[in-house]
Structure 1
Amino acid sequence: MEGSPPASDRRLILCIAMGQLIGWGTLFAAFPLFGAPIEAELGWTRTEFNAGLTLALLISGLAAVPAGRWVDRRGGRWLLALGAWGGAALLVAWSQVSTLPAYWAIWGAMGLAQATALWSPAMAVVVAQARDPVRAITGITFITGFTATVFIPLTALLIERLGWRDALLVLAGLQAIPGLLALWLLPPDRPRTEVRSGSGFDLGRAMRRPAFLGLAGALAAHAFIGVGLGAHAIPLLRERGLPEASIIVLVSLHGPFQVAARLALFTLGRRVTMRGVGRLASSLVPVAMLALGLAPPEFAWLLLYVLCWAMADGLMTIVRAAGVAEILGREGYGAITGALTAVTVLPRTLAPVLIALMSEGAGGYGPVPWLLAGLGALGAGCFAMAAAQRSR
């Protein structure tokens, strides 16, 4: 991993990294900031508002496999471009919404935009085109790690200055940029006629292996925690009574801490294995959630939660891309990663609404960190099981 990325991968890294930074910022990271002003204006409950993201995550997960197959067979240039522009159009539609059914319909369609514009098809393009996919993915994550750092303060400022409707129009304009980058920087799509088949790979058999089951459990737990915190971290911290400026800083530090962890991994290079990195990352998750539950409402104490969670989250992104091959092997890699993506659909879909229901039922977010700590411990155990299977 030493050295800079191959020159031929730099255009690819720039295109995918900037596209993902903007896409995740506008289509996901900014979402929770719109909850309070929309609920105040339109009278919706927190659960009704978060149901939009839940619907999008469900449809995005179901559409991920067809989108990946499209990239495998036809390339991803136009898919990424059209997905980005579709997301921009839906942000414009969201800015005009006034009824709950229309809002849910928009976010249902947003799931298709996420499935075609965000991580899975983008990584399929990288794997297909990069000379060194692992190094390229690591380079991309250096940039995308700053998503929250850029878009949380930016969106908060836009809402404060322009109101939530006009803020969405500005984000829509930004979301049009990844489509232009895809058409400008990616090579033309070419249908692939040399699709490999008949290799004897049995996905069903692979899915019954303890290593696969362990990885599935670890990634499902991580997906629930990540999506749940993505939707609820800001209102949870607000409930603690922290100043708004402190909350924005804490959430924004997630990106730099992610990048610092990835930089350390990049520096260590081949001196570490993905199994070891995964063990460390998955173990940091329950530590972070315990810190969130136990810490007093003070910036310095909650900084420990942000540090541990950001490091775990940043490293697990790379483990998911490179660790699967190390633990399960490279045969049938695309089918296996597609199956692992499918496993995370339900946790990703349920997390925002379940946490909202728990907070409403308990009269606050008090029980939520303990639920997440338990899931984090379960995920760490599952990953340890998967890594041990490979080590034998």
Structure 2
Amino acid sequence: MKPSPLTIGLGVSMTVGYGTLHYSFSVLAPAIARDFGWETSFVFGVFSAGLLAGAVSAPIFGRSIDRFGARPIMVLGTLAATLALGLYAVMQNAWQFAAVTFLAEFVAFAVQYDAGFAALAQRHGQEARSHVTLVTLIAGFASTVFWPLDQWLLTLMDWRDVYLVLAAVNLVFALPVHLAVPSYRPPRKEQATATGKESPKDSGTRMPMVLMAISLAAGGFLISAVSASLLVVLGAAGYSPAVATLAGSLIGPSQVLARLIEYSQRRLFTPVVTALVASGALFVSFLLLSSALVRPIIAVPMFFAVIYGAGQGLTSIVRGVLPLHYFGTAGYGQTMGILSGARMVLSAAAPVSIVFVSERAGAGVAILFLLAAAGISAGAMALLSRLPPLTREVPGS
């Protein structure tokens, strides 16, 4: 596949969407807390609660994408994200901080993977798989770009000015890409789905939708928990901060390598196989990590990070290609909205629940809790793989 300018552009805009709304928060939140005299836990608690606003907005934006196309939703989402980042720079109290955070998370769906995948599905249909993978390859560097960028900017200016820079980044780099997304006129059948006259759950897709939602939501729980609390859990399990940090640093390269392999070898296996490998890798990684409860040798968290990173990297691809494989392009935005909403609810609950379990019952119970979630994700995906798709996949897509 020759990469299209749109695909590369969406990779850049998704990098901006995740970098400015998600990864930048972890760098700037401590500075915000110090400036206002708030507990850091309060700041991150507001962010976790804000994810629930995203769970509410996801089905709404999904149906709107089916009805109006991805371009107007992504353009409006970019403008709203720019507004939210600008409002961070002028907020004065906790209520304003909470309101702006809820706004930022409410519009995140429109400028991150789900909307981007919908734009690619509307443009390329069943052949969107390779484009989805390429977008995740590019956007996988969002933390690599924005964490050091934000830290460098903080040496030059205060956090309010950094937020103004991030707002400008959305206008300069993301908005032109989203304006260039081709217009889309849905077929009559898809228009009916978008207006609620027909929905995926009413057209024979209930069981695949339920199993897919369970698997992806459980996977989202794992990814959110590890992103927020891996160092805490490994530390409680007896590993030094240096070992835990080294293990965490292996996740990113493994994620990128897995996506590269999927991109280059995609013709050799179906989206279902990719999904099974992704959920299976997550399960195996936590099964391996649980062995540290018997003997905490240094190699365990290292191998865990490599296998987990591969599973996490493939999971982002699965989010886009598996609904397309099973349900096709009709109602794709609504399908993504439903799945994203379920995933975001569990993702919001993951950090606080895992830290709570670790503090009250110990790291061992927390790891077993994560292993159970991984087992649920892999089990639901295994059941889903036994069901036939409701639309025929284009060979080599």
- TM-score class normalised by the smaller sequence: 0.7 to 0.9
Which of 177, 180, 197 is the aligned partner of 1:185? 180
1:230 aligns with 227
Q: Who is 1:12 aligned against? A: 6
* Equivalent position to 1:134, from 114, 129, 135: 129
The answer (yes or no) to whether the contact 2:212–2:380 under 8 Å persists in 1 is yes
Tell me: CA distance 1:313–1:207, structure 2 relative to 1, closer, same or farther (3 Å).
farther
User: Which residue in the other structure is 1:351 paired with?
Assistant: 350
Distance apart, 1:224 and its partner CA: 1.2
Give the distance between the partners of 2:57 and 2:230, measured in 1 at CA.
27
**Measured at CA, do residues 354 and 292 of structure 1 come closer, stay the same or move farther in structure 2, by a change above 3 Å?**
same
Q: Which runs of 5+ in 1 are unaligned?
A: none
Fraction of identical pairs, as percent: 25
Matched-pair contact (CA < 8 Å) for 2:28–2:159: yes
Q: How does 1:49-60 map to 2 (within 5 A)?
A: 49-60=43-54
Q: Are 1:60 and 1:115, in contact at CA under 8 Å, matched by a contact in 2? A: yes
Per the TM alignment, residue 375 of structure 1 is displaced from its structure 2 partner at its CA by 0.6
Distance 1:205 1:195 in 2: 14
Separation (CA, whole Å) in 2 of partners of 1:298 and 1:37? 36
How far, CA to CA, are the matches of 1:166 and 1:299 in structure 2? 42
**Which residue, out of 3, 8, 26, partners 1:32?**
26
Q: After the TM superposition, which of the residue ranges 380-389 and 201-210 deviates more from structure 2?
A: 201-210
Report if aligned partners of 2:258, 2:310 keep a CA contact under 8 Å in 1: yes
> CA deviation digits over 1:256-310, x for unaligned, max 9?
3222112212222322122222222111113333555639999865432332222
> Which whole-Å CA distance do the structure 1 matches of 2:324 and 2:124 have between them?
16
TM-score (normalizing by structure 2): 0.81
User: How far off its partner does 1:81 sit?
Assistant: 2.7
Deviations 1:53-83 (A, max 9, x none): 2232211121122222322332333432332
Q: Which residue of 2 aligns with 1:373?
A: 371
Change (3 A) 1:205 1:309: same
Question: Contact between 2:225 and 2:350, CA under 8 Å: does it hold in 1?
Answer: yes
Post-superposition offset of 1:177:
2.8
Deviation per residue, 1:92-135 (Å, 9 max, x gap): 33244453222111111112220222222222211112373122
Partner of 1:258: 255
Q: Is 1:152 aligned to residue 115 of structure 2? A: no
In 2, the alpha carbon distance for the partners of 1:193 and 1:208 equals 20
Flag the 1:372–1:35 CA change in 2: closer, same or farther, 3 A.
farther
- One-letter amino acid of the structure 2 residue matched with residue 377 of structure 1: G
SS in 2 for 1:390: coil
Moved more, 174-183 or 235-244: 235-244
1:72 matched to which residue of 2? 66
Question: Of 98, 103, 108, which residue of structure 2 is paired with 1:109?
Answer: 103
The offset of 1:236, in angstroms, is: 5.5
Deviation larger for 280-289 or 301-310? 301-310
Structure 2 equivalent of residue 125 of structure 1? 119
* CA distance in structure 1 between the partners assigned to 2:289 and 2:165 by the alignment: 33
Using the TM superposition, name which of 11-20 and 249-258 deviates more: 249-258
Give the aligned partner of residue 286 of structure 2: 289
1:159-174 pair list within 5 angstroms: 159=154, 162-174=157-169
Task: Indicate the SS of the match to 2:265.
Answer: helix
Q: 1:357 to 1:267 in 2, by over 3 A?
A: same
CA distance in 2, matches of 1:315, 1:305: 16
Please name the residue that 2:394 is paired with. none
TM-score normalized by the length of structure 1: 0.82
Whole-Å separation in 1 of the counterparts to 2:89 and 2:155: 15
CA distance in 2, matches of 1:232, 1:160: 27
The one-letter code matched in structure 2 to 1:351 is A
Contact 1:35 1:49 in 2 (8 A): yes
**Matches of 2:216 and 2:43, distance apart in 1:** 26
The amino acid of 2:274's aligned partner reads V
Partner amino acid, structure 2, of 1:174: V
Query: What letter corresponds to residue 390 of structure 1 in structure 2?
Result: P
Moved more, 290-299 or 349-358: 290-299
Distance 1:103 1:368, change over 3 A: farther
> Post-superposition shift, 1:330?
6.3
Answer whether contact 2:66 2:331 (CA < 8 A) is retained: no
> Match of 1:344, SS?
helix
How many residue pairs align between the two structures? 381
Q: Deviations over 1:318-375 (max 9, x none)?
A: 222222344456665444443323332421232233335445656x866543322221
1:219 is matched with 216
User: After the TM superposition, which of the residue ranges 139-148 and 330-339 deviates more from structure 2?
Assistant: 330-339
8 Å CA contact retained: 1:149, 1:253: no
Query: Which residue in 1 is equivalent to 2:85?
Result: 91
Instruction: Let me know the Cα RMSD of the aligned residues.
Output: 3.4
